[in-house]
Amino acid sequence: MARITQLLDAGQTLSFEFSAPRDEVGADRLRQTLARLSRHRPQFMSVTYGAGGTTRGPTRDWVRTIRDHFQVEAMPHLTCVAHTRDEVAAIIKDYRSDGVDNILALRGDLPQGVESPGQAFDTAAELADFIRERTDWDIGVAAHPEGHPMAASVEADLSHQTRKLARADFAITQFGYRAEYYEQFVNQLDARGVQTPVIPGIMPPTNVAGIERMSALNATEFPEEIRERLEHAATAAERREIGVEVAVNLGRELLELGAPGVHIYTMNFSRAASEVASALGWPAD
Ligand code: FAD
């Protein structure tokens, strides 16, 4: 359908991220979410990939559903975790036959204490190279403006990210709540001669416990002022309103800074994502 680099060339993009649900109830909800969010005419949607290949089939199925049923460009995520070279080659072959044009190449995380002796690739960069040798797809990678939690040092992490992004067609960031971290990261890349488009990820903070857990895992700051506002909210509706307001203000700041687009982490729910998209200039038709 469309390459993400071409979509980015045409102007700032809106994209949404989903996860393949585990059961029929989740699948019904995701279909409703897709129906609602596709009305915002996002430039693309992406579908995550479960570590260990547990959602291998569903990721492919949902990518096809998004493209065929909702006529939106859909990008699968793919991780290194627990995969041999042959398995990755087979997945690439499947996606080629589906007409996929874009992919997000990731390392993924093995659960703590679990080892995967047969795993062929240790880093996203190695996976991206393997895909590049076999396809002419646009290849995206993950970016971590606040640093990766398992990095040996800030400098080693930045060097790695710089090398990885230099070879990628675009990157999507981990979610964060301070535009200045994004700005600083992009400036650091630029100073190192890397101008790969970096699309910031935005997660409307509507659930304190969830954001707290994920921020801790990703080593991203969950600003105290946002947490306090959410904790003082009396109802779920009030929390959603605060979450949307925070996400909209952040999105506006990022777009004004010249970000190539915004990527909204939906958690498979439509309401907050839809309100954020409308307020950022992508109303539903
Ligand atoms: P890599 O870039 O391979 O490495 C992560 C870090 O390890 C680097 O930043 C660096 O600090 C260090 N490192 C790696 N190689 C070197 C080196 N050679 N020298 C020095 N340091 C090095 N996970 C899933 O399981 N499924 C998904 O679908 C998924 N989607 C994601 C989408 C986005 C937009 C983002 C931001 C993350 C996603 N993740 C997903 C999570 C991701 O898998 C984790 O963040 C993982 O820990 C790192 O993945 P990566 O691709 O950035 O890894």
* pLDDT surpasses 90 at 109: no
- Closest residue CA from atom 28 of ligand 1: 48
Read off the DSSP letter of residue 190: H
Select from 16, 77, 107 the residue to mutate for testing ligand 1; criterion: most ligand atoms less than 8 Å from CB: 107
Atom of ligand 1 nearest to the CA of 159: 20
Closest protein CA for atom 10 of ligand 1: 157
Establish whether residue 76 lines the binding site of ligand 1, counting it when its CB lies within 6 angstroms of any ligand atom: no
Whole-angstrom distance, CA of residue 165 vs CA of residue 162: 5
Average pLDDT over residues 240-245: 98
- Residue 232 CA, ligand 1 centroid: distance in Å: 34
54 has a pLDDT exceeding 70 = no
**Ligand 1 in reach of 127 Cβ (< 6 A):** no
Name the nearest CA neighbour of 123 among 189, 77, 173, 79.
Answer: 79
The set of residues, in sequence order, having a beta carbon less than 8 Å from that of 32 and lying 6+ positions away, is 270
How large is the average pLDDT for residues 247-276? 98
Examine the residue annotation and report whether 224 is marked as an active-site residue of this protein.
no
Of all atoms in ligand 1, which is nearest to the CA of residue 19?
Answer: 28
Report the amino acid identity of residue 208. V
CB 137, CB 100: distance < 8 Å: yes
- The predicted-structure confidence for 77-90, as pLDDT tens digits, reads as follows 999 988 999 999 99
Task: Using DSSP bridges, classify how beta strands 73-79 and 44-47 pair: parallel, antiparallel or unpaired.
Answer: parallel
- pLDDT of 112 reads 77
Q: pLDDT digits over 158-217, tens only?
A: 999 999 999 999 999 999 999 999 999 999 999 999 999 999 999 999 999 999 999 999
Q: Residue 265: pLDDT band by 50, 70, 90 thresholds? A: very high
Model confidence pLDDT, tens digit, residues 5-18 = 999 999 999 999 99
Q: Is the CB of 156 under 6 A from ligand 1?
A: yes
Tell me if residue 101 falls in helix, strand or coil.
coil
The pLDDT value recorded for residue 121 is 95
Q: How confident is the model at residue 135 (pLDDT cuts 50, 70, 90)?
A: very high
pLDDT of residue 52 exceeding 70: no
In this predicted structure, what is the pLDDT of residue 56? Answer: 63
Which residue among 17, 73, 146, 275 is the active-site one? 17
Residues 63, 2: Cα–Cα separation, whole Å: 14
Task: Compute, in angstroms, the gap from residue 98 CA to the centroid of ligand 1.
Answer: 26
Average pLDDT over residues 103-118: 86
Considering only CA atoms, which of 165, 128, 8 is closest in space to residue 73? 8
Ligand 1 pocket, mutate which of 75, 91, 126, 148 (most atoms under 8 A from CB): 148
Q: How many angstroms is it from 132 CA to the middle of ligand 1?
A: 18
Calculate what percentage of the chain has a pLDDT beyond 70. 98
For residue 108, the CA-to-ligand 1 centroid distance in Å is 6
Distance 124 CA to ligand 1 centre (A): 6
263 secondary structure, DSSP code: E
Kind of pairing, strands 13-18 and 261-265?
A: parallel
Q: Which two tokens stand for residue 158?
A: 């930045």
Nearest CA to ligand 1 atom 5: 148
